[in-house]
Structure 1
Amino acid sequence: MRWLGRSDTGLFATRTLSGHLLRGAAAFALLYHAIAQQQAHPGWALVAGLGALVVLRGCPMCWTIGLVETVGARWRRGTPVNEP
C-alpha cells in the first residue's frame, strides 16, 4: 500500500491524493459510528473514536494540513493532483 504511506515532503502528507481522501473517508465513517453508538455501546464508540484519530494521524486539523501538503507537493512537481 504505497499510496497510503507518508510522503517524503511533508509531516502529514500522503503519497497520493486518493490515498489521503480514502483516509479521510474512513475516519469520517469511524467518527460517525462513534457518535451514533455512544449511548448503546460506549466501549465500541471509544474504540471507533480512537481508530479515527489513528487514521487521521492526529486531529482533523492535522488531516487538513496533510491535504494541503499533499496537493502542494503535486503542484510544485507539476504533476496532476490525482496521479501517484
Structure 2
Amino acid sequence: MAGNGSFASKSVPRHVARGLVGFGSVVAAFALIPMFGWWSLLLIPVGVLALRGCPACWVIGLIETVSRGRLQRECVDGVCRLR
C-alpha cells in the first residue's frame, strides 16, 4: 500500500503494469506445470508481490487510481459523502 493508506498507484499505466505482472505470473505458474513441473509454482510469489498480496485490493487500487482527483470525500458533522 502507498504511504497514505491508499491502494492507488502514482499512475494508471504503472498500476496496470503491476496487474499484468501479477496476474500473468499467477496464471503462468499453473499453466506451466506440465512443462516445468512444480518449479513453475515459484512464479506465484512474484505475482503476489506485484499485486501487493491481494487481487481484490489491486482492483480497488485501479479504481482509486483512475478516479484520483475526480472524487472527493467531504465530512460534515460526522457524516461523510463523496462529491
TM value normalised by structure 2: 0.68
- Give the CA RMSD over aligned residues: 2.3
Asked which structure has the greater CA Rg, the reply is 2
How many angstroms apart in 1 are the aligned matches of 2:70 and 2:21? 25
Residue in structure 1 matched with residue 46 of structure 2 by the alignment: 51
Distance 1:31 1:38, change over 3 A: same
Aligned-partner Cα distance in 2 for 1:9–1:72: 16
Out of 30, 33, 36, which is 1:35 matched to? 30
Deviation beyond 6 Å, 4+ runs, structure 1: none
Q: CA deviation at 1:52?
A: 0.2
Identity percentage of aligned residues:
31
Is the strand fraction higher in 1 or 2?
2
Output aligned runs, 1:1-84, within 5 Å: 6=2, 8=4, 10=6, 12-41=7-36, 42-43=38-39, 45-76=40-71
Q: How far off its partner does 1:9 sit? A: 6.7
Aligned length: 71
Kept in 2, the 8 Å contact 1:7–1:15? The answer is no
